[in-house]
Amino acid sequence: MSNGFQIVVCGSLVPDPLQTLEPVTTPQGPGLKNETMLPSVLDPWSAHALFEAANLAKQVAGSKVWLVSLGPKAKLQQLMMTVAQKVPFELIAIDGNASGFTDAQQVATALADAILAIPGLDKSKLLVFGGCASASRDASVTMQSVCERLGISEFFAGVDEIKASADGSFRVLERIEGGQYLDSTCAGAPAVLAWATGNLPEPPNNPQVGMMNMRGVMPALQKAKPAAVGVGGIAYEKVEIPAQKRATRVVKDVTADDIAKEIIEWLKA
């Protein structure tokens, strides 16, 4: 394909899953206890999308990768210290709330506006990657909403593989029920792909790639435009950690069928 693809990855930070996350009610709405102090990582599904984007850009000459990330500037800066060492990309930062309670439609609007503002954007070469879900904002509708706001008709969800052809077309494998794939061929860009886990391992840290990326990361953070994203029209009466319940009985001489029936009755109750 001449001139390659323009690949934009939508991905933000989420709290490190190894931390204890306690929901609380704040004056601004629901949030996490000590949220600003929690260490963050790149959302796992977005990370797969980023690695797949870099791999595709490496295969198709002339391609370029952008990472559009919505979150507090200070936390994005911390995150980029590790993410920047993985693969080459140009950061487009949006300064806003990255809480798990943010409204998916407001997030999609902010992401789409940032994509449309990329200098030299050519929709005929545009591929937008992102996660099919999120570790904190698992509405599973954000990427489809971005697709609609960009006016793109081709949308693929649960993607695990993309293979580009010399004529600009590409083949996509999407997850469907029963552990099978929907095998589709798209004539070419533009398209939006919401990724599952893909097929690639996490790239090793490369200090040279990190130094190259960081030259653009700091200016991008300084130019980050604020985005008014919140909980939207949702009203949360209460947020709390789900209560744990454990009921144990020790019995003997009970068949597997009887145990299964008892579990089903317990679930129904």
- Region of 226 please: left (phi>0), alpha (psi -120 to 50) or beta: beta
Answer whether 59's CB lies under 8 Å from 1's CB.
no
How confident is the model at residue 250, as a pLDDT?
A: 81
How confident is the model at residue 138, as a pLDDT?
A: 65
How confident is the model at residue 5, as a pLDDT?
A: 94
Answer whether 31's CB lies under 8 Å from 230's CB.
no
How confident is the model at residue 2, as a pLDDT?
A: 58
Answer whether 121's CB lies under 8 Å from 189's CB.
no
How does DSSP classify residue 3?
T
How confident is the model at residue 235, as a pLDDT?
A: 67
| Residues lower than pLDDT 50 in the chain | 1
How does DSSP classify residue 87?
S
Q: CA-CA distance, 122 to 71, in Å (whole number)?
A: 26
Structural domains in the chain plus CATH codes: 6-226 (3.40.50.620)
Length of the chain: 269
* DSSP state string for 213-228: HHHHHHHHHHTPEE--
SS3 for 70? strand
How confident is the model at residue 198, as a pLDDT?
A: 83
How confident is the model at residue 64, as a pLDDT?
A: 94
